[in-house]
Amino acid sequence: MEILPLTPTRPAPALSGGRPALPPQHLADLDLAGRQAVMAGLGQPTYRAKQVSSHYFGRLVRDPAAMTDLPAATRDPITQRLLPTLLTPVRENTCDGGATRKALWRLHDGALVESVLMGYPDRVTVCVSSQAGCGMACPFCATGQAGLTRNLSTAEIVDQVVYLAAVAASGAVSGAPRRLSHVVFMGMGEPLANYSRVIAAVRRLCAPPPEGLGLSQRHLTVSTVGLVPAIRRLAGEDLSVTLALSLHAPDDDLRDELVPVNQRWKVAEVLDAAWEYAGRTGRRVSVEYAMIRDVNDQPWRADLLGRLLAGRMAHVNLIPLNPTPGSRWDASPKPVEREFVRRLRAAGVAATVRDTRGREIDGACGQLAAAEVAS
Ligand code: SAH
């Protein structure tokens, strides 16, 4: 699926040479049969596909030099065809006493993306980017300000997860299990605007090793601004991932401004698509709502949201706004936030306030990459 034209659009950054190039193909772009076909093309026995896949997905080894059971003569061609370097670390920061780690990567064409690893007592979550930049232009989001650079390939998405799964496996995340369990598509980009690559990444992350990472579909969350046709298409994929819908306003007047794609698909339409997703998958939809002081946090908006969601398979995730540099907006005061939650619950709607992991390392929403570009 291609990026949908929006009104108003922000101009995409100027790119020399036309369409920005995806990286070379990597084994994580392919299913096992595809990897076997590549091996056959290299004149290698097909079992090498499983061998290399077991290193990458089973043991989280990304460096071909560490795959010591590959005969030296075959390592170079296999590396070139199936294990090109996709992500070069630019910076890794930790905070929250070592429980949160943010990684900034440079891609083969110089584009920057980031991922966050978050440890909790009962689980380890990776937040991945699905695009370099984003074309959705939400005015409170740091990534939205710079426009879209390009889609990430399936393997660029998967490789973020495999890299950070290895970090977790090394015991580097304090107070958390070593085994990565959860992935959220809440980093840079609009996942449903890079539909086929994101779905392939989901399938690879959930395929049992050595084909994939063996995560549970129920432990994956795909977050969207609300691209209605793509939500409906996702509902038909026979996947049981959690859908997160970035609503941020219950009324079209305000949502047209906060989430510009609302000018194309209105609140009622996007909620209809969300209920179709919930109905077909049996999964509760996570409604994301950034609490922005004096913008979307009024009691009447809580009541309106409560009426829209009452009796539906939904859970509201309130996110204290993480103010972006130069923004005129701020987070709602805590008493306002508490009143918002109280009103939602009074309407019979489940609501929780998301923790604010990684704030001090610009852990949320494109800020580290933005800082790197600015320097
Ligand atoms: N494009 C997707 C996923 C990326 S952002 C989406 O919009 O859902 C993940 C979540 O962070 C979204 O709900 C997004 O609206 C929210 N977000 C972005 N910038 C934020 C900020 N400055 N403070 C709080 N939440 C923010």
Report yes or no: 180 and 48 within 8 Å, Cβ to Cβ: no
Q: What is the pLDDT of residue 361?
A: 57
DSSP letters of 304-322?
A: HHHHHHTTSSEEEEEEE--
Residue 171, Ramachandran bin (φ over 0: left; ψ between -120 and 50: alpha; else beta) = left
* Among 248, 151, 240, 149, residue whose Cα is nearest residue 203: 240
The conformation of residue 140, written as its DSSP 8-state character, comes to T
Q: Please work out whether the CB of residue 163 comes within 6 Å of at least one atom of ligand 1.
A: no
Quote the CA–CA distance of 207 and 147 in Å, as a whole number.
33
Catalytic residue among 92, 95, 114, 190: 114
Which of 141, 292, 318 gets mutated to test ligand 1 (max ligand atoms within 8 A of its CB)? 141
E-assigned strands of the chain?
Answer: 88-95, 100-106, 112-120, 123-127, 131-133, 148-151, 182-185, 220-224, 242-246, 285-291, 314-320, 350-353
- Calpha distance 296→316 (Å, rounded): 14
Pair 235, 195: CB distance under 8 Å:
no
- Mutational test site, ligand 1, from 186, 317, 337, max ligand atoms within 8 Å of CB: 186
288 is catalytic: no
Q: Is 332 in the pocket of ligand 1 (CB under 6 A)?
A: no
Residues 6+ apart with CB under 8 A from 139: 145, 257, 258, 327
SS3 (DSSP) at 219? helix
Two tokens, residue 128? 């991945």
- pLDDT score for 53: 98
- For residue 324 and ligand 1, the question of a CB distance below 6 A is answered with yes
Residue 188 to residue 146: CA distance in whole angstroms: 11
- Mutate which of 128, 223, 224, 357 for ligand 1 pocket (most atoms within 8 A of beta carbon): 223
Distance from residue 15's CA to the centre of ligand 1 (Å): 26
Cis (ω within 30 of 0) for the bond into 8?
Answer: yes
Radius of gyration from C-alpha coordinates of the chain: 21
Residue 244 and residue 221 in contact, taking contact as beta carbons nearer than 8 Å: yes
Residue 194 Cβ < 6 Å to ligand 1: no
* Residue 9: HSE in the Cβ half-sphere, 13 Å Cα cutoff: 11
Residue nearest to atom 24 of ligand 1 (CA): 321
> Looking at residue 146, what is its pLDDT?
84
Can you say whether the dihedral through the CA atoms of 99, 180, 244, 202 is positive or negative? positive
Q: Which residues of 36-49 are buried (b: 16+ CB within 10 A; e: fewer)?
A: bebbeeeebeeebb
Domains annotated on the chain, with CATH: 29-84 (1.10.150), 88-374 (3.20.20.70)
Name the pTM for this structure.
0.92
**pLDDT (0 to 100) of residue 319:** 92
Rounded Cα distance, 198 and 154, in Å = 6
* Residue 114 appears among annotated catalytic residues: yes
233 contacts: CB under 8 Å, gap ≥ 6: 1, 195
Q: Give the C-alpha separation, 143 to 269, whole Å.
A: 25
Positions of the chain with pLDDT lower than 50, given as ranges: 1-17, 365-366, 368-375
